[in-house]
Every structure is written in C-alpha cells, then in structure tokens.
C-alpha cells in the first residue's frame, strides 16, 4: 500500500486533486505500472501496487504527477537503501541488477514499514507527505 498526502505550501490538504503515479514493474522489462486517484478531503490518495523495480542506472522510485486547478506538478519519490537491500533479496527482484541507493537530493524519501513486522513478503506500507506550491 502506498499512501501519499498532498499539502500546499502552508500545510493545508489538497482535496479533489488528481494524483497519478508510475514506476517500473519488479522486472524492468515489463511495462510500467501506473494508476491515478483523486485525493480525499484530507489530501490523501492510496494505491495498492507492487514495490518498484529498478534498472542499472536508475534507483527504484515512484514518479508522481499532481493535477490541480488546471496546473500540473511532478516529482519522484525514492526508498531508503536498507529497504532496497531487503527487497532485492525477494524472488520477483532476483533478476534485477544490484539496487542503487536514492540520489543525493531526491524529491522525497518514502517512509516504509512492513505490514507484518515479521514477514516482508506480506507487504509494505509506504507513506509520504508531499508539498506543492500550488
């Protein structure tokens, strides 16, 4: 599960915005995984998705585009290196190259916790609060 909260520059929720995400599938040769949700009254959008794949020169990340009141804002979310190491050991990701850590100045680092603290395969809950100047 991926939960993103959209806020404006003074920390007010952005309800009714369209948030679109896309990322690589676990096998980078597969098509992109993408979807869109409308933010709720508190600025949240939730997606049920898979952990992103990666390529030799691109760290795992999620591209996000926010559409609000005729404007468009984009960003990219990345994952902490320790999470990448754990995910790389899972069967769907064995064919990927060694994972890269996030870039030095990413758009945002997603906070990730296991849904079942004893079993990474049971899934992850990833959350981030994203702020736009819109």
- Structural contact between residues 50 and 36, judged by C-beta atoms closer than 8 angstroms: no
pTM of the model: 0.84
CB burial of 70-100 (b: ≥16 within 10 Å; e: otherwise) equals eeebebbbbbeeebbeebbeeeebeebeebb
DSSP 32: P
Instruction: Provide, rounded to the nearest whole percent, the portion of the chain with pLDDT above 70.
Output: 87
Which residues, in sequence order, are bridge partners of residue 66?
Answer: 19, 73
Taking the C-alpha atoms of residue 48 and residue 3, their distance in angstroms, rounded to an integer, is 9
**Which pLDDT value is given to residue 37?**
96
**Which pLDDT value is given to residue 118?**
54
Q: How confident is the model at residue 116 (pLDDT cuts 50, 70, 90)?
A: low
* CATH (domain of 48): 2.60.130.10
Q: Which domain holds residue 39?
A: 2-131
Q: What is the pLDDT of residues 34-93, one digit of tens each?
A: 999 999 999 999 999 898 999 888 888 999 999 998 889 888 888 888 888 888 988 888
Instruction: Provide, rounded to the nearest whole percent, the portion of the chain with pLDDT above 90.
Output: 32
Q: Which of 60, 65, 63 is nearest to 124 (CA)?
A: 60
Domain count, the chain: 1
Q: How confident is the model at residue 113 (pLDDT cuts 50, 70, 90)?
A: low
Other C-beta atoms within 10 Å of 117: how many?
A: 8
Cα angle, residue 63 at apex, residues 15 and 18 outer, rounded to 5°: 20
Taking the C-alpha atoms of residue 16 and residue 38, their distance in angstroms, rounded to an integer, is 6
Taking the C-alpha atoms of residue 131 and residue 42, their distance in angstroms, rounded to an integer, is 13
């Amino acid at each position: 599960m991926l939960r993103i909260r959209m806020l404006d520059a003074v920390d007010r929720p952005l309800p009714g915005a369209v948030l679109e995400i896309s990322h690589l599938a676990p096998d980078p040769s597969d098509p992109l995984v993408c979807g869109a949700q409308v933010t709720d009254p508190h600025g949240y959008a939730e997606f049920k998705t898979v952990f992103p794949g990666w390529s030799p020169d691109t760290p795992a990340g999620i591209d996000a585009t926010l559409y609000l009141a005729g404007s468009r804002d984009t960003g990219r979310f990345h994952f902490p290196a320790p999470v990448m190491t754990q995910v790389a050991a899972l069967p769907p990701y064995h064919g990927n190259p060694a994972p890269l850590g996030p870039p030095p100045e990413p758009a945002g680092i997603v906070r990730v916790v296991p849904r079942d603290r004893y079993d990474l395969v049971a899934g992850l809950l990833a959350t981030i609060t994203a702020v736009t100047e819109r």
